[in-house]
A and B are shown apart, each in its own frame.
Chain A
Amino acid sequence: MGSLFSQIATVTVMNVRSLPRRLWMSLAMVLASAVVVAILLAFLAMARGFERTMDGAGSEGTAILMREGAASEINSVISREQVNLVEASPGIARDAEGPLVSPELYVIVDGIKKSTDSEANIALRGLNARGMAMRENMQLLEGRLFTPGTNEMIVGAGVLREFDGFAVGDEVRFGKNVWRVVGVFSTSGSAFESELWADVKVIQSLYDRGSSVQTVRAKLENPGDLAPLEKTIEQEPRLNLEVQTEQAYFAGQGKQLQYMAIFGRVISFVMALGALAGALNTMYTSVADRAREIATLRALGFSSFSAFCGTLAEALVLAIAGGLLGSLAAFLFFDGLNASTFGGSFTQVVFRFEMSPDLLLQGAWLALVIGFVSGFFPAWRAARLPVIVAFRNAA
């Protein structure tokens, strides 16, 4: 066993040291692996970042009520009467001021994206102080909260990063209405950071919504327990609403971008096939280039298994080098990268690419697969080639 290990180690060291003889082909294989891994990681990091942003927005302890059949907040309408009925429902937490319920409006406004200098939709959410208090991870980063009854608004940190003209003190015009930015808030990177927040009553007035809202958020007495609210909706014919936890709602919205991960995997698979073709060519060339050495070692008594392992190890070394390079490039260029895309309500959701260790592991696996497949068949040839034929080929 020790002898076999020595043989394999020696052949592997020789193969790796001989790489400079095949420098350009070896580099091509490293680069091909690197590109495939980097692309896979970029897509996965994008999908992961978006998913995390959407997941982070939802709380298990908050119920969100929308009109029956509304897929997202933008499609929903809820009357003041319905809000009152919800407030009276059991299962909702209460404090000294009454039920913890936040009737909210959700309208779309335009902003200029810094990255493309083009218009894109932003969500303008109307809510009250109780609504802000229900977002437990909300922090005011700069300035102050808006004053109820005024055209003041606070902007999410994501909006400030991605859009022009939303700094504290700026005046922003949406249609005929002029707003003043008075503060910047964070919600720990969740989707709410992609929104503008203002007083719900002011938005009702400026956008002719009367007393209606689009969603009602309610703090649940027992987190996750929707049964009392569902019973109320079932028994009250005026409540043609659907209820779900906020967490379930945003998780559903986040699923929309799972196609990104699937698309990324498909693209990576197709590119991996191309990289494999190149890598196979590199490894077959390597076997041809080392034919004399392989034949000599076999003549000296080295086993065909050591020739197999040496060639496979060379392919794995090249592919892993490519995988590391691709992972490093993906980490440097994509980790924490700000991006925005359409969320569920036709507004931009700002999120950060998130490169986590498990994604890097997926990249490493892909590199290993490329290395193994591209090395296996040339290694098989190296091992099976009769010594006399190898000598003849090398002559």
Chain B
Amino acid sequence: MDSWDGILQGFSVALTPTNLLYVFFGVLIGTVIGVLPGLGPTASIALLLPITYTVEPVTAIILLAGIYYGSMYGGTITSVLLRLPGEAASVVTTFDGYQMAKQGRAGPALGIAAIGSYIGGTVSVIGMILLAPPLADLAVSFGPPEYVALTILGILLVTYLGTGSVLKSLCMAALGLLLATIGLDPITGTARFTFGEVALFNGLDFVAVAMGLFGVGEILHSLERTDKVQAVTSKIKGIWPTRKDFRDSSGAIGRGSLLGFVIGVLPGGGGVVSSLASYAMEKRRAKDPSRFGKGAIEGVAGPETANNASSTSAFIPLLTLGIPPNVVLALIFGALIQQNITPGPQLIEQEPEIFWGVIASMVIGNMMLLALNIPLVGVFVQMLRVRAGILAAFALLVTMVGVFSVNNNAFDMWVVLGFGVIGWLMKKTGFEPGPLVLAFVLGSILERAFRQSMLLSGGDLDIFVTRPISGGMFAFMALIIIVSAITSRRRKAVFGRVDPADVDETDESAPDADRQVTAEGSPGADSTTDTTAGTPTDGPSGSTSTTPGER
């Protein structure tokens, strides 16, 4: 189908009253949870998964996408005002945004972030329209071996982009793959690891696993910390940036858009990596790098633009290859699978209304966000008054009742509780739930592709390396492993330099929060050192900071 026809069809889908309403809900919820500490985009999307069953697939993904990029806006607000990033991708914004707020320029910081995000999102949507159809055409020629390579690459990159121990992440990925095999064997029908439990014949319910690990697990983990959040009482003035602000940040916004788009497309990409990379790039390009960390507006504009651009372009691999590039997209992927929609190269042809509808909804959603954010920042700030205990109580109740409502089955409630315990213990012991869930979602695809490959090749493993595309991908993976093994010492040095206060406040719920310390194998990697070195270290933590804007 012609792209132009597709866009028109997309708008005809996205502009229906229901879908408009859900885009609005999505971006609103996204902004709110971006503001609220203790509930990140991953946890919120996990909590809202049951709702997606009551609506059409396209509406569901429109809602979830809205939450994802909406949270990128919301996270900015607390980063700037309280040096408390509501979600991981906004950590970088605290560097200069909070300094701007201390200088009484919170308004312009938030304004330029909203405008930059809008531009980044829009550029990314345009890029998606141009890039996605040819990529899907290419992917149609992919056979099972290519899918094996692509899936493993996705899992590998997510494990490598986490913090700390790659080994732990790999271990969790293996556990996720193993959990995915529970249930009836798709080919022979043999019951595997079900222990005679009929409720397990269809496998562990993805929603229950995700809600347990991210919803319950993260809430419990954040409850254990008793951070107090100060409410911002003063008015924020002068949101619309001055002409000078625009002039100063226009370059950063332009570069951030492109950079964010490119990083978002790569497996393992997404908000955090791109905002770090953009910050490092702006600092390196600046005539006077010492201004960074002291309230340089480019340091807010670039990363905020980039994280929004990447959270949009991250949908490209999902919708064209059927491979979720990060954990949030894995949840959206799971939601689609539950609706009997398999994202992949055929999606554009077979379900054009989903593909183009989502794209069109992003155009609308970004406009809504701009319209919401510029005048309503003050209202969102008041959300900070909601106390963590209240939030946790209601979030847990919604989780429990919500998971029941999916299958009207109390067994799923126990699964959620079980995985909640596991998720909390994983957090305590330094295992990340992200790779587990991603692997769990991709497990059945990987197994099927692997078995098909074996049938194709007559049991010869050479098939994975002799075909050019899968061979290339495996070569790339080998490269990542070798490079990271060599540079692992340096990686540790970088890791040690991150201000604990910044890390501490972020990882409340976003499992990818820890990724602010990025690893090798991504464009952001080489710049990490610069970025973390630029971390302002004044003030022990965001929670003790003074209320900005008082002067």
Tell whether A and B belong to one assembly: no
Q: Which residues of B contact A (CB under 8 A)?
A: none
